[in-house]
Amino acid sequence: MLKQKQKPLSDDQIFLSSSTEQITWGELHANLDAKIERLRDHGIGPHVVFVVAEKQVTIDDYLWILASIKNGGSATQADGRQSKMELDGLVKGCKATCIIRSNEITMLDDPAETGPTILHPLEIYRGMTSGTTVKEFFEMYPFFWDYEDHEEAIVDGETLLGCTAHASTQHLFAIAPEFEQDERPYILCTHGFTATYNPYNLLRMYYVGGGLHFLNYGDNIPEQIQKANPNCCISYPIAVKNIVAACPDDFNWTGIKYWEVSGGHTPESVVRNIEEKFNFTAMYNMMASTEADCHSRAEYRPGDPLEKFYGFVHDPAFYNGELKYDEEGVLWYKYGTRDWQTDGDKFENKDGAWFYKGRAFDDVIFMKGGVKIYTGMIEAKALETSGVENVASCSKDELHYLIYTGDALAYDIASSFKEMQPSKRPHDIYRVTDKGFFGQTDDTRTPQKLQKSKLADIILSNPSEIIEHCSLKGHQEV
């Protein structure tokens, strides 16, 4: 079931675009109907369709999602760069009836035998809990259009919890009322391992009659911004960081008026870079629970103190549940029949605004196996081992390295990571010299500024600076 809160301004308005193709609202439904005919030829209706997007994602990859919903079913999307084991796990977890890859449909089950595979007739998309929570097992959860749908989705006496397009759409309307009047959001997104972000934003833009321009790997980002001229940029922190970093210092672009960062945490340096390179109207930082659709936002406008970007304020207009903040700094929220908590995140309450505690705003974040890695958390864990003096968590070619100095044994550090999620454990741990870690020169012996992004290359190309090395096979066996 496709549902809209408001219509586009015209049939000529772009709904979806990339560096190589685009489709307008006027062309959209003929395309979807052709895809629906192919789905029905395979007996697919109220079922879950699994769409695999290749390294260069196409418009069709996203349109299959909408076609599945219009056909009475649900969809899931994943990045094809993930390993076969990871993709197989996602397929199994979401109970997919078929896989669509490069416009080819591969059946996994006979729909006539399995019957409907969606959790509820109101479900439109099936995603996965965030990789940054402390949960050992990621859980599938549904998406809905709005609260009315959400509250009616009850299975075995329990409300199905999940994101809605309604709540985050209200955030946009709150900071940009013109999106409900004489303008529509046309947002910039980037393709990446976190494949849920773009489909979710696609659903939001359908809901509000907007549009989405997505970046692919290898795109010239400043050129694409100038060509597409989006009025919003909505993505997760590392993606926003990469978009802004790709733009020259004198970019001074005025088109992107609104910035939204999903995920709560954004380094201060990224906020400052946006200020330096873009003339914007507002930025907002969104803290959300995908399981319970709990949304709070921090709104920041030019001239505001930076603290406003990190102070999350709850507004009942965006969330109907009950919230409570306990004495240990854990935020609890209730939706339907369940109580949820913020998975151990610590908050400090200041005059009704919640601030993260214990996570530095200048954390460097990278992707590993489809999971966001907050390196500050990894480094803090390593520093708990006696004898560790300096430590850096970094990546190279999809491998996660922990590089440190001091007297601690690499084996002891590796053993300490066993209690963490396997996806967050480093692949390799290196104890190195101060010279290797800080890039000291033989002439001055003066430590240079640590270049964490280049550290793995520096150490691997200078084996004489390695004191010892320890690997975690399969992230588990030391």
- Both tokens of residue 381? 């864990």
Over residues 318-368, the pLDDT tens digits come to 555 566 767 776 667 665 566 666 554 566 777 777 776 655 545 566 666
Asked if residues 128 and 167 have their Cβ atoms less than 8 Å apart, the reply is no
DSSP 8-state class, residue 147: H
Vertex 107, ends 103 and 112: CA angle to 5°?
Answer: 130
CB 271 within 8 A of CB 306: yes
Residues 6+ apart with CB under 8 A from 346: 328, 329, 330, 356, 357, 358
Output the pTM of the full model: 0.76
HSE of 256 in the Cβ direction (CA atoms, 13 Å)? 28
Helix (H) or strand (E) holding 295: strand 294-300
Does the pLDDT of residue 291 top 80, yes or no? no
325-338 burial, b at 16+ Cβ within 10 Å, e below that, comes to: beeebebbbebbee
Domains of the chain: 14-357 (3.40.50.12780), 365-471 (3.30.300.30)
Q: What is the mean pLDDT of residues 122-139?
A: 62
pLDDT digits (tens, 9 = 90+) for 156-183: 887 777 778 877 787 788 888 999 999 9
Q: Which burial class, exposed, middle or buried, applies to 234 when counting CB atoms under 10 A from its CB (0-12, 13-18, 19+)?
A: buried
The mean pLDDT value for 41-69 works out to 94
Give the tens place of pLDDT for each residue, 226-285: 999 999 998 877 788 889 989 999 999 999 999 988 766 677 888 999 999 999 999 988
